[in-house]
Amino acid sequence: ADEQEGARKVVPKELITGGSTQSMFLSPMKSPRHRLTSPMSSKSNPPYLKDEEDETQAPNTSQNGSSTPHLNSPNDNYHRHQFNTPSLSYATTHASPESISTPAPTPQKLAAQGIKNILDGKIEIIESNTPSKAIVVAQSSGPKCVPKPSPVPARFMGDMDKFKDLELPEFRTLCNYAEAQFANIDLPKDMRFCVMCGHACPCSTGHKVKSKKKSNAGDAPVIPTQNKGLCTLCDVNVWVVVESKLEIKWCKGCKNFKPWAAFGWKGSGTKCAPCRERLREMYARSKERSQQKILQATQQKAICDGK
């Protein structure tokens, strides 16, 4: 019994914490100042040592007298020490909105925000430090055209023969933003405001520049020179005229808005059905001319060889 008492010393826990009367065992090689506070101690995981000053704190007690776990309990300190995570009490009492960093919005989100402003009819100016220099200018009146709500079908679902040849109003009367609204806003030389969503985007000259470095600039919307001020995110949308409820879409062949019914069964195309048919005829004629040139060259070569 004396040998066992020398090998193991029983110390009541109430002498240390003032809590329950449950006893705990301490090694004679360790003083109460360096008591093991982690139940997860092992050879691979070194235990976290706690000072006696923190051990003397009594656990919180509720109104009925039952002990409740403290936010700064030894287990919480152990996990904080192992994984470098702040405690719940610190996160709830010291966190502030200024200290929380939010990622920069992508150009797609900025364009979506501009479309949302069109739907909500907001009159405001929004500036951002993103590469697309997104700025939403104020609308003098309500929106003239709004994007078709999703999900957008693959083609026009009405009577195509009735609406495909319908004449539309002038282009400027369909734009949500006029050129005069951008007169007092300074922009770099190679940037322009979109006439539909109101965002400032870089202008595209149509010349492709080869670069070895990979960049995300290709994901940003641009305004082609022949688009009359529409960015590359607005020229693929299906728009609904607010007054007439007519569905229209930008045609890259006509360089103007056309009824969505004019796009035929390929509603997601960038050109209307007449433009696609005209391109097919032009391609067939060019192919026929090239074949005639090859035939003439072959005949001329045969004549030269016969001589």
Same domain, 289 and 182: no
Q: What is the pTM of this model?
A: 0.50
Tell me if 242 is assigned to some domain.
Answer: yes
Tell me if 126 is assigned to some domain.
Answer: yes
Query: Does 260 have pLDDT greater than 90?
Result: yes
- Residue 135 Cα to chain centre, angstroms: 17
Tell me if 65 is assigned to some domain.
Answer: yes
Predicted pLDDT at 27: 44
Q: Which domain holds residue 283?
A: 274-301
Predicted pLDDT at 304: 84
Q: Which residue has the higher pLDDT, 206 or 90?
A: 206
Predicted pLDDT at 142: 72
Same domain, 188 and 235: yes
Predicted pLDDT at 106: 53
Same domain, 118 and 68: no
Rounded CA Rg of the chain? 37
Q: What does the pLDDT average to over 176-188?
A: 77
Between the two ends of the chain, the Cα-to-Cα distance in Å is: 128
Tell me if 211 is assigned to some domain.
Answer: no
Predicted pLDDT at 236: 92
Same domain, 26 and 122: no
Which amino acid type is present at position 290? S
Q: Which residues contact 243 (CB under 8 A, 6 or more apart)?
A: 144
Tell me if 97 is assigned to some domain.
Answer: no
Tell me if 101 is assigned to some domain.
Answer: no
Same domain, 115 and 260: yes
Please count the structural domains in the chain: 3
Encoding tokens for residue 266? 């390929």
Tell me if 78 is assigned to some domain.
Answer: yes
Same domain, 65 and 84: yes
What percent of the chain clears pLDDT 90, i.e. is strictly above it? Answer: 20
Same domain, 134 and 202: yes
Encoding tokens for residue 63? 């109104």
Same domain, 55 and 137: no
Same domain, 130 and 231: yes
Closest CA to 239 of 58, 78, 118: 118
Encoding tokens for residue 271? 């050109």
85-94, 143-152, 246-255, 279-288: range with lowest mean pLDDT: 85-94
Q: In what order do the strands lie in the sheet with 200-204?
A: 191-193, 200-204, 223-224
Encoding tokens for residue 10? 């029983």
What is the tens place of the pLDDT at every residue in 5-64?
A: 544 555 455 444 444 444 444 444 444 444 444 444 444 444 444 444 444 444 444 444
Same domain, 154 and 259: yes
Same domain, 15 and 162: no
CA atoms of 47 and 8, how far apart (whole Å): 20
Which amino acid type is present at position 209? V
Among the three residues 58, 90, 122, which one is the final residue of a domain in this structure? 90
Tell me if 227 is assigned to some domain.
Answer: yes
Same domain, 287 and 202: no
What is the tens place of the pLDDT at every residue in 212-234?
A: 444 445 568 899 988 899 999 99
CA atoms of 70 and 58, how far apart (whole Å): 9
CA atoms of 57 and 51, how far apart (whole Å): 11
Among the three residues 90, 118, 135, which one is the final residue of a domain in this structure? 90
